[in-house]
Amino acid sequence: MDKGKPLIVVAAALIDGDGRVLVQQRPQGKAMAGLWEFPGGKVEEDELPEAALIRELREELGIDVEKACLAPACFASESLGERHMILLVYICRKWRGIPQALEAPAIRWVRPLDLHGLDMPPADKPLIGLLDALI
Ligand code: DCM
Protein backbone atom coordinates (compact mmCIF):
# COMPACT_ATOMS: atom_id res chain seq x y z
CA MET A 1 0.00 0.00 0.00
CA ASP A 2 1.33 3.48 -0.85
CA LYS A 3 1.22 5.61 2.26
CA GLY A 4 3.06 8.51 0.62
CA LYS A 5 5.83 10.36 2.35
CA PRO A 6 6.24 9.65 6.05
CA LEU A 7 5.39 12.39 8.50
CA ILE A 8 8.59 13.61 10.16
CA VAL A 9 8.08 14.67 13.76
CA VAL A 10 10.74 16.04 16.12
CA ALA A 11 10.73 15.97 19.90
CA ALA A 12 13.04 17.06 22.70
CA ALA A 13 13.94 15.46 25.97
CA LEU A 14 14.70 18.60 27.99
CA ILE A 15 16.74 17.64 31.03
CA ASP A 16 17.09 19.97 34.02
CA GLY A 17 19.90 20.22 36.56
CA ASP A 18 18.28 17.55 38.75
CA GLY A 19 18.10 15.04 35.89
CA ARG A 20 14.37 15.41 35.43
CA VAL A 21 12.71 15.40 32.01
CA LEU A 22 9.95 17.69 30.77
CA VAL A 23 6.74 16.18 29.43
CA GLN A 24 3.62 17.98 28.29
CA GLN A 25 0.03 16.88 28.08
CA ARG A 26 -1.63 16.72 24.67
CA PRO A 27 -4.61 19.10 24.43
CA GLN A 28 -8.24 18.09 24.05
CA GLY A 29 -9.34 18.01 20.43
CA LYS A 30 -6.01 16.62 19.19
CA ALA A 31 -5.16 12.99 18.50
CA MET A 32 -4.16 11.14 21.70
CA ALA A 33 -5.55 13.94 23.91
CA GLY A 34 -4.50 13.71 27.54
CA LEU A 35 -1.38 11.62 26.88
CA TRP A 36 2.01 12.94 28.06
CA GLU A 37 4.58 13.54 25.32
CA PHE A 38 8.00 15.01 24.82
CA PRO A 39 7.51 18.53 23.39
CA GLY A 40 7.90 18.97 19.65
CA GLY A 41 5.85 18.58 16.51
CA LYS A 42 5.75 18.21 12.74
CA VAL A 43 8.63 19.27 10.50
CA GLU A 44 7.29 21.56 7.75
CA GLU A 45 8.08 20.97 4.04
CA ASP A 46 10.94 23.47 3.83
CA GLU A 47 12.40 22.96 7.30
CA LEU A 48 15.36 21.12 8.74
CA PRO A 49 14.49 19.00 11.78
CA GLU A 50 16.52 21.06 14.25
CA ALA A 51 14.94 24.31 13.01
CA ALA A 52 11.49 22.75 13.42
CA LEU A 53 12.30 21.70 16.97
CA ILE A 54 13.68 25.15 17.88
CA ARG A 55 10.45 26.67 16.50
CA GLU A 56 8.20 24.22 18.34
CA LEU A 57 10.01 24.72 21.66
CA ARG A 58 9.58 28.47 21.33
CA GLU A 59 5.87 28.14 20.45
CA GLU A 60 5.00 25.48 23.01
CA LEU A 61 7.22 26.40 25.96
CA GLY A 62 8.53 29.93 25.29
CA ILE A 63 12.17 28.88 25.52
CA ASP A 64 15.07 29.56 23.15
CA VAL A 65 17.36 26.70 22.23
CA GLU A 66 20.47 26.83 20.07
CA LYS A 67 21.05 24.20 17.42
CA ALA A 68 24.38 23.26 19.02
CA CYS A 69 22.47 22.30 22.19
CA LEU A 70 20.33 19.69 20.42
CA ALA A 71 22.02 16.31 20.63
CA PRO A 72 20.44 13.67 18.38
CA ALA A 73 19.50 10.79 20.67
CA CYS A 74 17.33 8.28 18.85
CA PHE A 75 14.45 7.83 16.51
CA ALA A 76 11.31 5.77 16.50
CA SER A 77 8.76 4.95 13.82
CA GLU A 78 5.08 4.34 14.12
CA SER A 79 2.15 3.78 11.80
CA LEU A 80 -0.49 6.43 12.31
CA GLY A 81 -2.91 4.38 10.19
CA GLU A 82 -3.09 6.38 6.99
CA ARG A 83 0.56 7.45 7.26
CA HIS A 84 3.86 6.37 8.73
CA MET A 85 5.51 8.67 11.24
CA ILE A 86 9.18 9.00 12.04
CA LEU A 87 9.95 10.63 15.37
CA LEU A 88 13.43 12.15 15.76
CA VAL A 89 14.39 12.76 19.36
CA TYR A 90 17.03 15.15 20.64
CA ILE A 91 18.39 15.60 24.14
CA CYS A 92 18.76 19.17 25.34
CA ARG A 93 20.25 20.35 28.64
CA LYS A 94 20.64 24.06 27.93
CA TRP A 95 18.07 26.69 26.95
CA ARG A 96 17.13 30.30 27.63
CA GLY A 97 13.91 31.08 29.53
CA ILE A 98 11.67 29.11 31.84
CA PRO A 99 9.47 26.50 30.15
CA GLN A 100 5.77 27.35 30.41
CA ALA A 101 2.71 25.46 29.19
CA LEU A 102 1.81 27.90 26.38
CA GLU A 103 -0.09 25.39 24.24
CA ALA A 104 -0.50 22.30 26.42
CA PRO A 105 -2.94 22.09 29.35
CA ALA A 106 0.00 21.13 31.61
CA ILE A 107 3.71 20.43 31.69
CA ARG A 108 5.57 18.35 34.28
CA TRP A 109 9.17 17.67 35.21
CA VAL A 110 9.53 13.96 35.97
CA ARG A 111 12.35 11.64 36.93
CA PRO A 112 13.14 9.19 34.09
CA LEU A 113 11.98 6.29 36.26
CA ASP A 114 8.58 7.93 36.73
CA LEU A 115 8.05 8.11 32.96
CA HIS A 116 7.10 4.43 33.13
CA GLY A 117 3.91 5.37 34.99
CA LEU A 118 2.72 7.94 32.44
CA ASP A 119 0.39 7.37 29.51
CA MET A 120 2.47 8.36 26.48
CA PRO A 121 1.96 8.16 22.70
CA PRO A 122 3.31 4.85 21.32
CA ALA A 123 6.18 6.57 19.48
CA ASP A 124 7.42 8.20 22.70
CA LYS A 125 7.42 5.01 24.77
CA PRO A 126 10.68 3.47 23.48
CA LEU A 127 12.51 6.57 24.68
CA ILE A 128 11.79 5.88 28.30
CA GLY A 129 14.30 3.08 28.64
CA LEU A 130 16.83 5.02 26.63
CA LEU A 131 16.56 8.03 28.93
CA ASP A 132 16.99 5.81 31.97
CA ALA A 133 20.33 4.82 30.49
CA LEU A 134 21.42 8.24 29.24
CA ILE A 135 20.60 10.57 32.11
N1 DCM B 1 3.70 13.00 18.20
C2 DCM B 1 4.16 11.97 19.01
N3 DCM B 1 5.05 12.24 20.00
C4 DCM B 1 5.47 13.51 20.20
C5 DCM B 1 5.02 14.57 19.39
C6 DCM B 1 4.12 14.27 18.39
O7 DCM B 1 3.77 10.81 18.82
N8 DCM B 1 6.35 13.72 21.19
C9 DCM B 1 2.75 12.67 17.12
C10 DCM B 1 1.32 12.98 17.45
C11 DCM B 1 0.72 13.28 16.10
C12 DCM B 1 1.89 13.82 15.28
O13 DCM B 1 3.06 13.45 15.98
O14 DCM B 1 0.31 12.05 15.50
C15 DCM B 1 1.84 15.31 15.09
O16 DCM B 1 1.82 15.95 16.34
P17 DCM B 1 0.76 17.12 16.64
O18 DCM B 1 -0.62 16.51 16.60
O19 DCM B 1 1.11 17.58 18.03
O20 DCM B 1 0.97 18.17 15.61
- pLDDT, tens digit, 9 for 90 and up, residues 21-50: 999 999 999 999 999 999 999 999 999 999
> Is 56 inside a domain boundary?
yes
Query: What does each C-alpha distance from 107 to 1, 57, 99 come to in angstroms?
Result: 38, 13, 9
Examine residue 121 and state whether it is found in any structural domain, yes or no. Answer: yes
3-class secondary structure, 63: coil
Whether 1 is in a domain gets the answer no
Contact 12, 90 (CB under 8 A): yes
Position 117 in a domain: yes
Q: Say if ligand 1 is within 6 A of residue 38 CB.
A: yes
Residue 2 lies in a domain: no
Domain count, the chain: 1
pLDDT, tens digit (0-9, with 9 covering 90-100), for 81-133: 889 999 999 999 999 999 999 999 999 999 999 999 999 999 998 888 888 88
Q: What is the pTM of this model?
A: 0.94
Ligand 1 atom closest to the Cα of residue 26 is 19
22 domain residue, yes or no: yes
Judge if the beta carbon of residue 76 lies within 6 A of ligand 1: no
Is 44 among the domain residues? Answer: yes
- For residue 37, being part of any structural domain is answered with yes
| Nearest atom within ligand 1 for CA of residue 85 | 13
CATH code of the domain in which 76 resides = 3.90.79.10
Tell me which residue of 88, 77, 56 sits closest to 123, measured CA to CA. 77
State the residue range of the domain holding 59. 7-134
